[in-house]
């Protein structure tokens, strides 16, 4: 069992680092508000596929790195990612049984939860006010979910990550 557990961890880490890069990659101003939350989407995929390996702890670390990269108050994204991933891990068996588009809807809800949590925490910590723009990344997230799902499933099977 130990041998199975230790397999392919760096491959998972690689995808997550890639999403961190995508999260801060410069984009034209027009597309900027619509940047999907790559990190969280990929995290959700891994928690659904391998809930025993990727769950709250990994999500917290990724969120924390996001905080450092984005320059927000440390802990905001970390907490939000951890809570969202907690929700998806505790329901992973249900979510797995849905079709990809139904999953996309659920991912959309999780992303919306993430953005509301981040907004809430930053409202209390740095006094920002709500703008509808804050929820714009949810829709692109829903749209990219099926593709992320297919690509990562292929990736997971190809490299036999368990």
Counting contacts by CB under 8 A, is residue 86 touching another protein? Answer: yes
Among positions 8, 11, 122, 155, the unique one binding another protein when judged by CB under 8 A: 122
Nearer to another protein, 131 or 150 (CB): 131
Can you tell me which residue has the tokens 């809930």?
51
Q: Report, in Å, the least distance between residue 140 CB and another protein.
A: 13
Q: Which is nearer to another protein, 81 or 142 (CB)?
A: 81
Q: Is 5 a residue that touches another protein (CB under 8 A)?
A: yes
User: How many residues line the site for another protein (CB under 8 A)?
Assistant: 49
Picking from 104, 98, 138, the residue whose alpha carbon sits closest to that of residue 118 is 138
CB atoms within 10 A of CB 153: 12
Query: Which region among 72-80, 108-116, 139-147, 148-156 touches another protein (by CB under 8 A)?
Result: 72-80
**Of 41, 66, 68, 72, nearest to 54 (Cα)?**
41
Which of 8, 11, 33, 146 is close enough to bind another protein by CB under 8 A?
Answer: 33
d(CA 3, CA 27): 41
Burial of 134 from C-beta contacts in 10 A (0-12 / 13-18 / 19+): middle
Per CB under 8 A, the segment of 8-16, 99-107, 126-134, 142-150 that binds another protein is 126-134
- Binding of another protein at residue 120 (CB under 8 A)? no
Q: How far is the CB of 155 from another protein (least distance, A)?
A: 19
**Interior angle at CA 16, CA 77 and CA 160, nearest 5:** 140
């Amino acid at each position: 069992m130990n041998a199975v557990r230790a397999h392919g961890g760096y491959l998972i880490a690689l995808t997550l680092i890639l999403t961190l890069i995508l999260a801060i990659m410069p984009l034209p101003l027009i597309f900027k508000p619509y940047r999907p939350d790559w990190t969280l989407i990929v995290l959700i995929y891994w928690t659904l596929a391998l809930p025993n390996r990727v769950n709250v702890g990994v999500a917290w670390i990724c969120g924390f790195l996001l905080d450092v990269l984005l320059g927000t108050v440390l802990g905001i994204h970390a907490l939000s990612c951890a809570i969202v991933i907690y929700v998806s891990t505790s329901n992973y068996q249900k979510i797995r049984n849905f079709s990809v588009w139904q999953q996309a809807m659920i991912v959309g809800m999780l992303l919306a939860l993430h953005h509301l949590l981040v907004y809430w925490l930053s409202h209390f910590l740095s006094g920002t006010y709500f703008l509808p723009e804050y929820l714009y990344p949810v829709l692109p997230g829903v749209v990219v979910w099926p593709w992320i799902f297919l690509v990562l499933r292929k990736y997971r099977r190809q490299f036999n990550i368990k």
